[in-house]
A and B are shown apart, each in its own frame.
Chain A
Amino acid sequence: MRYLPKSQSDRDQMLRELGCATIDDLFAPIPAEYRLTRDLAIPRQYGESEILDFFKQRASENANGYSIFIGAGAYNHYRPVVIDSLISRGEWFTAYTPYQPEISQGTLQAIFEFQSMICELTGMEVANASMYDGSTGAAEAIMMAVRLTGRHSAIIANTVHPEYREVIATYAQHQGLPISHVGYNAETGRVDIKALEAAITDQTAAVLIQSPNFFGTIEDVAAIADLVHKKGALLVVSISEALSLGLIKPPSEADIISMESQSFGVPLGYGGPYVGVIATKEKFVRQIPGRLCGQTVDRNGKRGFVLTLSTREQHIRREKATSNICTNQALIALIASIFMTVYGKQGLRELAKQNLAKTAYAVSAFEKAGAKVLFKNSPFFNEFVVQTKSDSRELNDKLISDKIIGGFPLKKFYPELGNSAVWCVTELNAKAAIDAAAKGVAQ
């Protein structure tokens, strides 16, 4: 096996030194009746060229070279080539969690920079060193609000990503944490504020909204924060399209922001790995789940970084830990950091603005072609809902021949919207493809 560095004579010599006749002597602790005496029924060893061929074949069975018009929590943005060039360095991708700070300063400084950039971008005071993804991060944010308020229920807007809501339901069901939902205004596609106000009780720990929401519309976070805070609950804002922060004011009225940062240079990758992050106020830092990196000095007074405040974590507090999260997404967070650095202060805004301009063009092109765009008087970023006469899935099937992957059909999660789909337009959708999509949808 090419990944194994020992020769047979090395093995023989080591066995002799151990006083073993065969390698199986070392497996004697496994009772004989459970020892596998046959080969595993899996394919034989493949040569490297065969492995490459196999996966190229699989890749060719997927969509390739299509113009992607779906967002819905995973966004197709250009990935600057320096990202893969840098993260392919073995020192980044073959290192472990930085438990030994003296020989992990690269990872630690990168995490510190990530935390700092996330704070700048979100308008929050502290950020953790990443969560698994946006959906589990949102669940952890709600659990955090429960610990902070001592209250035991949560309200989630129906305009939050449906799969986030499903994940939260799974997390909440056995923790004595009832979840209720609040609908949206049929005209604006935004949270129904009156219904929300009526739903909050003195047991509501948190209200979770998403902005831009699942329909692409931007919520009035300031107004919602006011009424949530009046009732003593915390406001958690989920952001699934991180690039929106390049152009849209950050929801700094929130108490906790739970963001999915996939937009920042992380491949779509059929849904993962992605990178969630929780950002919050400094006063809540001891309840934030996951890893935190802090600045300190070494014995000579030189600046350096360490993982810190780990007394919140499972390896010390065990069943009393704030969360069972152990691994974080350090390499994916690094991707996001490199992306944010490449675009920087000006580029993030310019890139976000290109997304907005393309989307505005798409909305008018769809309307000109005769399609109905819902919620269009609300502010939006790069997603919008299109209602059609025919079934969204059938329409999408037709668009495939034009190498177009159409919007995400909403019928499954929002039956009341009928034949509607949420479309997403990014800087990677060319005008010609937008025109073709508009024509296809209006047919």
Chain B
Amino acid sequence: MSNLNDKITKVATHVSQNEDLIFEKSSPGKKAYRLPPLDVPDVDERALLGAEYVREDLGNMPEVSEIEIIRHFTRMSTWNYAVDYGMYPLGSCTMKYNARINEVVARLDGIAGAHPYQPEKLSQGNLRIMKMLADQLVEITGMDSITLQPAAGAHGEMTGILLIRAYLESQGNPRKKILIPDSAHGTNPATAAICGYQVENLKSNSAGLTDIPSLVAQMNEDVAALMLTNPNTLGVFEQEIHKIADILHEKGGQLYMDGANMNALVGKTRPGDFGVDVMHLNLHKTFSTPHGGGGPGSGPVAIKKHLEPFLPKPVVVANSDGTLRLDYDRPKSIGRVRMYFGNFGMHVRALAYIMANGPDGLRLTTEDAVLNANYIRKKLAGIYDLPYSTPSMHEVVFSDRNQARKGIKTGDIAKRLIDYGFHPYTTSFPLIVPGALMIEPTESESKEELDQFIEAMKAVAEEAENNPEIIAGAPYNTRVSRMDETAAARKPILRWKPKAKSAAE
């Protein structure tokens, strides 16, 4: 193909076998199952339930055979880029290697087959896993206590803000406002609003850090908390973190840390030591539980002692004989944020990951993540504009300023990068950097893969200079070209319908 140039070394055309929707492969009478014979008498459901409750027909549910199912989902899987294919430098999302042993242990019968309401005496192994993970995350964060119940990062944010609210309420006033930096994740303001708080934006300074004078000016006794991501979404460590904590604490506010970027800190520093009151962790980011095309996640919330009475219930506690139980008797608890005990399968995987690393492995992991980001920063600085020169931690944010002069935007560069065999970085975020390219390589990349990525980024920059049309039309070697997203939103088609029906409508 003329539009593939010789600098593309990593990929050939993606595997791309066409595949219809499962409904289009269906035909009456095909089966992929065989039930065992019923060992009790059969029943007449109409007589038993009343005819008005019985469903006679499942409409257009598919009817296919087992081999068709295997081929269908296998072919579709090959249309996905994944960490297993190569570098996935999505900033702020931490797409790292997912260890296979984690998957094996999470599927052991006694673990995967455990009912959440089976008696505690038959759940000691699971309770032990939760307790050990909780204890180790407390040590890693330097906090005093933790809940594993939240199902995802944003769910953890909600839990954390509700904890702050309950604590402040116990002090006599829940307060009205939450301060949120303009560089924050979009979930932060949405969370604050859901918890009944007004959102007040906090401007970053010219170094991309929290502006201390603005914070002092905006902090008052109406402010419940500051929600701070650290390192922030520029990948920059808030050097005056303790000062920030002091300013909040002086006026009785709380410091909430969005721990999405904990990948940059584990084993090197602990939020509990630098003044954080509440933080959430994203197990699927920092602790390598797989993200599965968009979930599941898991968002434990770690806290300081003064917030402990308010933790969601139940909490795993030890009996005097060393066995474990679930404590529901917690009168000051904010209640429950999820049924049962959270995404337990992710707790298993995170513990297995921590065990495989140990203290030295976790530290080296953090060091490699930061080293990789800085290496990319060094090699691409100048070619891509670096809007903030503040030192980077685990991710680096460039802008498309140099390329925009030729009409090439961050989104275009991202699409062209796909042709070179890489998943794109995060585009257009953080909002404080117009045309952002947010790159997070993680520790999982070898020097060779990093060099290949750097060469690809350089080649795209060169194309932007000399041959911008080629970028504007990218990607070329994918099974579909650029999608018409406007049409998708204007006239939404959100489900398959049988042909005859849709023609009639």
Contacts and interface: CB of A to CB of B under 8 A. Distances in A.
Interface in A140-180: 161, 163-164, 166-167, 169-171, 173-176
Interface in A102-123: 102-107, 109-113, 115-117, 119-121
B293 A95 contact: yes
Q: How large is the interface on B (under 10, 10 to 19, 20 to 34, 35 or more residues)?
A: 35 or more
Contact of A15 (B60, B371, B429): B371
A314 B83 contact: no
A62 B110 contact: yes
A272 B356 contact: no
Interface string A16-48: 011000010011111100111001111111101
A311 to B, nearest CB: 8
B476 to A, nearest CB: 10
B97 A167 contact: no
Contacts of A51: 101, 105, 352, 355-356
Nearest to B73: A86
Given A268-B114, A296-B485, A334-B292, 10 more contacts: A3-B99, A3-B361, A10-B447, A29-B239, A31-B239, A40-B139, A101-B483, A101-B485, A103-B80, A379-B48
The 10 closest A-B CB pairs, nearest first, are: A331-B292, A271-B340, A59-B110, A90-B84, A61-B125, A271-B116, A174-B196, A45-B358, A58-B125, A330-B294
A35 B447 contact: no
A11 B343 CA distance: 36
Given A10-B446, A113-B496, A96 B95 contact: yes
A2 B55 contact: no
A96 B414 contact: no
Interface stretch (A196-204, A226-234, A298-306): A298-306
Contacts of A344: 26, 30-33, 61-64
A3 B365 contact: yes
Interface stretch (B155-163, B213-221, B458-466): B155-163
A36 to B, nearest CB: 6
A106 B76 contact: yes
Interface stretch (B1-9, B184-192, B402-410): B184-192
B503 interface: no
B172 interface: no
B350 interface: no
Contacts of A59: 108-111, 125
Interface stretch (A315-323, A366-374, A383-391): A315-323
B469 to A, nearest CB: 14
Contacts of B81: 91, 95, 100, 103-104
B79 A104 contact: yes
Interface string B333-345: 0111111111111
Contact of B84 (A94, A133, A272, A346): A94
Interface in B259-305: 265, 267-270, 273-274, 284, 288, 290-298
B443 interface: yes
Contacts of A348: 58, 61
8 contacts: A31-B241, A82-B32, A100-B418, A106-B79, A133-B339, A218-B53, A325-B152, A345-B60
B223 interface: no
B330 interface: no
A187 to B, nearest CB: 16
A75 to B, nearest CB: 9
Contact of A133 (B338, B348, B354, B449): B338
Given A6-B368, A92-B80, A272-B151, A86 B70 contact: yes
A170 B162 contact: yes
A423 B403 CA distance: 65
Contacts of B116: 74, 268, 270-271
Most chain B beta-carbon contacts within 10 A, residue among A27, A245, A326: A326
Contact of A3 (B73, B95, B444, B495): B444
Contacts of A116: 21, 23, 495-496
A219 B115 CA distance: 26
B43 interface: yes
A121 B122 contact: no
Interface in B237-272: 237, 239, 241-242, 265, 267-270
Contact of B391 (A28, A126, A297): A28
A298 B480 CA distance: 6
A23 B367 CA distance: 7
A120 B391 contact: no
A391 to B, nearest CB: 13
A384 B371 CA distance: 59
Contacts of B33: 80, 342-344, 347, 351
B58 A120 contact: yes
A284 interface: no
A442 interface: no
B273 to A, nearest CB: 5
Contacts of A44: 358-359
B299 to A, nearest CB: 9
B496 A26 contact: no
A271 B358 contact: no
A324 B180 CA distance: 15
Nearest to B42: A357
Contacts of B31: 344, 346-347
A30 B293 contact: no
A98 B293 contact: yes
Nearest to B70: A82
B212 interface: no
A46 B356 contact: yes
Nearest to A9: B447
Contacts of A342: 32-33, 66, 69
